Amino acid sequence: MARDRVGVYPGTFDPVTNGHLDIIKRGLGLVDKLVIGVATNPSKDPLFSLEERVAVVERETRTLGENAGVTIEVVQFDELLMKFAERVGADIIIRGLRAVADFEYEFQMTGMNYQINPDIETVFLMADPKYQTIASRLVKEVAMYGGNIAPFVPGRVAEEVVTKVQSRT
């Protein structure tokens, strides 16, 4: 009997966007289990704590896995991506691409990752055109200047971002 195919979708998810959720939904068709790795990345000055980001991603993806018949596990990590992928038994890493700039960065990362472990494949999913301009960094910036972020993130996430931004000012 073949073992389950495990995928890892890594990111900081600060905040989780509709683009992230689109890649997650589409990635579910490629795996039997999806581990969403929420990375610590202090260099990005996160708006939400690691624990908050994990909780939000769990909440926003709960029904996606159930509807697709795929197990979703949300796990925080603070290590090299390939070490994390090995630790969770991943066969593939799922990455979303929005633009050429994403490709150039991801191309380099994939090459490095392949050198570390050539048995874990990287799969790229192109962002749906309606999500290609969405980036967590831009969502936070729009929110800081009082703009409407509702088109870019799930409703509850939009409320949480606005509340968090207002508490920082």
By the 8 A CB rule, do 36 and 75 touch?
yes
CA dist list (Å): 91 to 7, 10, 14, 32, 49:
6, 14, 26, 11, 29
**Where is 115: in which H helix or E strand?**
helix 100-116
89 Cβ contact list (under 8 Å, min separation 6): 6
Report the catalytic residues.
20, 44, 98, 136
